[in-house]
Amino acid sequence: MLKFYLKVIVYLFSFVLTLIGLNAFDFNRFIKKGQIVKAWILYFIIAMSLAYLFGSFLMSIIYYFQ
């Protein structure tokens, strides 16, 4: 049960860091007029994907040193 909570915390931490990191990139240049909702969906999917990859990397490091 402890591993589950650790995994949830790591993935949430990764998601927050990913959102902070993606704010440094200017997506407004690539958004077409009238496509704001689609751009937010893409932004959220990119953030979730990067958070999963980063979280998996952190979890593998945690399990390796355990």
Q: Mind listing the pLDDT tens digit for each residue in 10-40? A: 999 999 999 999 999 888 888 888 898 999 9
Instruction: Determine what percent of the chain is predicted with pLDDT higher than 90.
Output: 70
Instruction: Report the number of distinct structural domains present in the chain.
Output: 1
Q: What is the per-residue pLDDT for 16?
A: 96
Cα separation of 19 and 46, whole Å? 9
Q: Which phi and psi (to 5°) does residue 47 adopt?
A: -65, -45
Cα separation of 11 and 28, whole Å? 27
Domain range for 24 is 2-64
